[in-house]
Amino acid sequence: MKIVFTGGGTGGHIFPILAICREMKKIYTKPDLKLYYLGPEDKYGLDLLSQEGIIVKKILTGKLRRYFSLKNFLDFFKMPIGFLQAFFWLFFLAPDLIFSKGGYGSFPIALAGNILSIPIFLHESDIRPGLASKIESKWALEIFISFHETEIFPKDKRVLVGNPIRKEILGGRKEEAKKMFNLKGDKPVILITGGSQGSEKINEIVLEILPELLKDFEIIHQTGENNFKRIKAESEALLSDETLKKYYHPFPFLKESDLKGSLAVSDLVVARAGSGSIFEIAACGKPAILIPLSHSAQNHQLKNAYAFSESGGGEVMEEKNLTPHFFLEKIKYLFERIDILEKMARNSQEFAQPRAAKIIASYIIEYLKATIKKS
């Protein structure tokens, strides 16, 4: 039983694949289960997959940008090379099924798979699908979706499951997390994250109000690998008062155990509005302030954020209206109205779909069993 996974090459694609693979191994324990990943370079994500025993094959991928960029010219030449690489690997691996998470990195694999008549299953994380997912949906046998508002796909192919999350980030304990992060514990804790790569916009806002923020709150801040050294240096310059400095905990990236702890101990989460972040927050029953990426493809983060907000699980602050002090006052207001935070937490939990990875894994395994039995 061979399955090839593919996706766009960011944490938003890799983490759900990781969650599904883990569930598959629990459901189907026979040694003939072979899991592969074909996709673009993503050092951290591909390392994670390799550690799980998933065989990784990198291919070149090109991205079609709907605006002028010299990268479009360069990527134009990557696309046919990536397709040939994908065709080569799929031909020789001869997988029973391709599972695509969408994104530009998945397209050459899905295209080659369609030509080779390999069954394709697609998962779309966002309410508004990207171009690759729109095209791949025409070839897909089944399309798993995260939001019931998801647009475009034919109804007879859609299966509403939510976004797969790693069970390993659930069930954290506050007291253990306090020790892990060396938290003082006498102020409410806020987790601030811009996703796996960080967010310069969110980082800048935090820095501008950091001394004021730390007077009332303790902060765990995922800055992103590329921003960490600068943010750490600037925060140390800003926080000359040692009594405030001990309440600020910046990290370049929160690994699985760190994320588990930070979600358990936080009283509020501030995050971008990628589907992965939203469903992880919801699964942990946390209230959230979502700051959608203003230039996300198809404006999908904005739609994701408002879908979560309409459920009552959090609030949306759009970048165009976002100023540091407005952001600070919003946080203060929420903690002055604990009843609002508690209601948001309950609604967030109700929005969650923690079994998505297991449902998808079971669905694929049963499909392959039935297919193999027929043959």
pLDDT in tens, the chain (375 residues): 999 999 986 668 899 999 999 999 999 999 999 999 999 887 677 888 999 999 999 998 766 555 555 565 566 677 889 999 999 999 999 999 999 999 888 999 999 999 999 999 999 999 999 889 999 999 999 999 999 989 789 889 999 999 999 999 999 999 999 999 999 989 999 999 986 666 889 999 999 999 999 999 999 999 988 889 999 999 999 998 888 999 999 999 999 999 999 999 999 999 999 999 999 999 999 999 999 988 776 788 999 999 999 999 999 999 988 999 999 999 999 999 999 999 999 999 999 999 999 999 999 999 999 987 776
- In the chain, the N- to C-terminal Cα span, in Å, equals 13
Q: Is the dihedral of CA 24, 195, 102, 51 positive or negative?
A: negative
What burial class does residue 124 get, using C-beta atoms within 10 Å of its C-beta: 0-12 exposed, 13-18 middle, 19+ buried?
buried
Domain residue spans in the chain? Answer: 2-165+354-374, 168-351
- Cα–Cα distance measured from residue 348 to residue 280, given in angstroms and rounded to the nearest whole number: 10
3-state secondary structure at position 375: coil
Give Cβ neighbours of residue 369 (< 8 Å, ≥ 6 apart): none
Domain 168-351 in the same topology as domain 2-165+354-374 = yes
- Cα–Cα distance measured from residue 4 to residue 110, given in angstroms and rounded to the nearest whole number: 10
User: What is the value of pTM for the model shown?
Assistant: 0.91
What burial class does residue 229 get, using C-beta atoms within 10 Å of its C-beta: 0-12 exposed, 13-18 middle, 19+ buried?
exposed
State the DSSP code for 159.
E
Give Cβ neighbours of residue 168 (< 8 Å, ≥ 6 apart): 22, 256, 257, 260
- Cα–Cα distance measured from residue 280 to residue 310, given in angstroms and rounded to the nearest whole number: 17
Tell me the β-bridge partners of 114.
none
- Cα–Cα distance measured from residue 71 to residue 194, given in angstroms and rounded to the nearest whole number: 25
Please report how many Cα atoms fall inside a 13 Å half-sphere around the Cα of residue 236, on the Cβ side.
Answer: 7
SS3 content of the chain, % helix, strand, coil (to 5): 50, 15, 35
Architecture of domain 2-165+354-374: 3-Layer(aba) Sandwich (3.40)
Residue 47's pLDDT is: 87
Note the CATH number of domain 168-351. 3.40.50.2000
Residue 295's pLDDT is: 75
- N residues, the chain: 375
Please report how many Cα atoms fall inside a 13 Å half-sphere around the Cα of residue 80, on the Cβ side.
Answer: 4
Give Cβ neighbours of residue 361 (< 8 Å, ≥ 6 apart): 20, 21, 23, 24, 26, 27
Q: What is the CA radius of gyration of the chain?
A: 21
**Cβ(57)–Cβ(88) below 8 Å:** no
